[in-house]
Structure 1
């Protein structure tokens, strides 16, 4: 997508965000890297949409005040 860009050691848990429909959408969560040269290796993310039902159920169980 962006040559020479990617996640690095210590980036685990960071968001992959994408513009869409006038909004910024959180599309993935970085699962870490084994290297400090992110441009030379693929970045791996967990797809947030696969967990949206679980995320919503946790939010519903812990409403904000």
Structure 2
């Protein structure tokens, strides 16, 4: 998972494409060159990073979260 690459201790850093976010879509990207206007950068500190990632990037089937099936 791309989002887990930014994990360091109890801090999570990830980037969203700015153009995609402008039109209401979340598109994870790398900090360099994937977002021509530069990415939106998030730094989150949390006691349970795994739980946070599960919440942010819930596994879905047909757009429905698996835990709701």
| TM-score, reference length from structure 1 | 0.27
Q: TM-score, normalised by structure 2?
A: 0.27
Q: Considering only CA atoms, is the larger Rg found in Structure 1 or Structure 2?
A: 1
